[in-house]
Amino acid sequence: MSATIASQGKCSELQVFRANHNNLSGLLPEDIYNATKLEEIALPLNSLHGAISGKIVNLTNLAILDLSSNHFGGELPLNLGKLSKLKFVTLDFNNLEGVLPSSLMNCTNLVELRLGNNHLEGDISVLDFSRLSQLTKLDLRINNFTGTVPVSLYSCRFLKAIRLTGNNLEGQIQDEILSLKSLSFLSLGYNRFTNLTGAMKILMSCKSLHALLLSGSFVGEGMPSDDDMVDYVGFQNLRLLGLVRSNLTGQIPFWLSKLKNLEILALGFNQITGPIPSWLGTLPRLFYISLSHNQISGKFPQQLCRLPRLLHEPIASQGDNYEFEFPVYSSSISITANQTFLSQKLCFFPATIDLSTNNIVGDIPTEISQLHLLYTLSLDSNNFSGVIPDQISNLKNLEVLNLSMNHLSGIIPASLASLNFLKEFNVSYNNLEGSIPIGTQLQSFEVSAFEGNPKLCGAPLPKCSPNKGIDADNKNNKDVYKWLHQLPWFYIFAALGFIVGFWGVCGCLIIHKTWRYAYFRFINKVQDRLLYVMITVPLNKMDRRLRG
């Protein structure tokens, strides 16, 4: 149920007007521009539309303007810069068009400027940001801006966060960015920047940098190699590195092992080759790894099963009420597609190992059961073989388990039915067989989670036949297994002893001639003795009886 904003009428003394998330619709009433004492207008998360009138400049005391997440359209008033007291301007998630008014650079008290997710355009490199000496956050993401990163921006000495993601910017990162001593959050993804290696060499000296998001830029370049970073010292406070969807080539470089504070590493959707380096398992704070959709080969390294942050200590105990300056969007670190963005708090990121869509071979290591804090395990679309480890059931916090499109065989361990928090589960297109374990979780998933396993049966698939087919095969397999473990070992050892003794005697007779002659003489004597005892003696007794 929606409502419109009533006329403000005689509210000339109104100083604060807040009505967020109220299903308001319609236009801003004209008489709101007569409330000249207004210091704050906050109407986010409604359904308001129309243009922002040029009459807004009448509100000379306005310090906070928040109209985000509405349907405002048209161009920003060209004389917006007359609002010299503006500190916080939040107009993201609207349908605004046109260029960014140059007069906005006269708002010298601006602390935050957020205009993301609109249809704004123009060359931002011609704007003079140097007058915005109080600016701490600039968000122009997902617009149609062109040009390069404005050099004048580097004069804003208090800047903590810059987000220019999703525009048509180009050029290279300049050394002048190092003048931003407080820069903590930098997101330049999905533009046309070049020279990734040069950018990393510069940015690694930004000592306050906590989040670096370059996904979708520097397309087709190589990962900065160890040779390129030979004198590497930097990124000592970096917590998040996002280099997703850039078609980067090369291998995962060793210099990343020096990022001891790294907590999120996202390198998915590239052309990275080679094995997963074992040193990943030594990074003390790492709890989120996304390497999906690459060409990574080799085995799942057992060292990865010893990630300190995923073993026993709670994630929150590691410091992690930390909050990023801006929310991190799914396209920057490749979270599941149904999530548009995550909380700014680091502790709300799900502990993840995502190795899907690569060329990884071998068994799933049983040691993976040690990662008790793991929430997401995605190993789908690889070449894993062997069985599903029963020990996976020890991962009691697991919410996503995807093992589909591999070469796994055997049964689904009955213990998996004890995983009570599963939201996503998929073992489709393997070589699994037998009955799907009955439990509160597994039967709740769609048929698509199990299809592609011809010998698998049971809800939600068709029922298993007790007298033929799969169950009979399983029974035969169990009988064979039982027989192998209950063999009559006494008779086996007796037979082995007979064979060894027989060939021990016969072998000696064949090799030694004198032994052979002695043996046959002995046999002849024994034979003569037996004949005498068995035939001659009875005949003599019979003869004596007949004569008597």
The mean-pLDDT minimum among 107-121, 225-239, 284-298 falls in 225-239
CB 127 within 8 A of CB 150: yes
Find out whether the peptide bond into 101 is cis, omega within 30 degrees of 0. no
Question: What is the total count of domains within the chain?
Answer: 2
Provide the pLDDT confidence category of residue 489 given band limits of 50, 70 and 90: very low
Domain boundary, last residue among 159, 194, 218: 159
How confident is the model at residue 467, as a pLDDT?
46
Residue 431 lies in a domain: no
- C-alpha 74/C-alpha 91 separation (Å) is 12
Residue 44 lies in a domain: yes
CB 96 within 8 A of CB 121: no
Helix, strand, or coil (residue 262):
coil
Torsions phi, psi of 450, nearest 5? -125, -10
Residue 478 lies in a domain: no
Provide the pLDDT confidence category of residue 473 given band limits of 50, 70 and 90: very low
Range of the domain at 528: 511-540
Per-residue pLDDT of 377-417, as tens digits, reads 999 999 999 999 999 999 999 999 999 999 999 999 999 98
Average pLDDT score over the chain = 86
How confident is the model at residue 478, as a pLDDT?
41
Candidates 383, 434, 442; CA nearest to 407 is 383
Residue 71 lies in a domain: yes
CATH of the domain at 57: 3.80.10.10
Alpha helix (H) ranges present in 266-345?
Answer: 330-333
Specify the pTM.
0.83
Residue 80 lies in a domain: yes
Provide the pLDDT confidence category of residue 266 given band limits of 50, 70 and 90: very high
State the amino acid at position 378 in one-letter form. S
* pLDDT exceeds cutoff 70 at 108: yes
Q: Distance between terminal CA atoms of the chain?
A: 136
How confident is the model at residue 541, as a pLDDT?
58
Residue 31 lies in a domain: yes
Per-residue pLDDT of 322-378, as tens digits, reads 899 999 877 777 654 444 556 788 888 899 999 999 999 999 999 999 999 999 999
Candidates 20, 62, 28; CA nearest to 44 is 20
State the amino acid at position 420 in one-letter form. N
Residue 365 lies in a domain: no
- C-alpha 69/C-alpha 2 separation (Å) is 15
Tokens of residue 1, six digits: 């149920």
CB 387 within 8 A of CB 409: yes
In angstroms, what is the C-alpha Rg of the chain? Answer: 38
Domain boundary, last residue among 159, 189, 205: 159
Q: Which residues contact 259 (CB under 8 A, 6 or more apart)?
A: 235, 236, 238, 241, 283
- Residue 137 pairs with which residues in a beta bridge? 112, 161
- C-alpha 59/C-alpha 187 separation (Å) is 33
- From residue 286, how far is each of 236, 263, 512 by CA, in Å? 14, 4, 73
Helix, strand, or coil (residue 280):
helix
Candidates 114, 73, 107, 111; CA nearest to 90 is 114
- C-alpha 431/C-alpha 382 separation (Å) is 14
* pLDDT exceeds cutoff 70 at 546: no
Residue 139 lies in a domain: yes
Range 135-153 average pLDDT: 97
Domain boundary, last residue among 159, 190, 225: 159
- Please tell me the total number of residues recorded for the chain in this structure: 548
CB 367 within 8 A of CB 343: no
Range 260-269 average pLDDT: 96
The mean-pLDDT minimum among 57-71, 244-258, 514-528 falls in 514-528
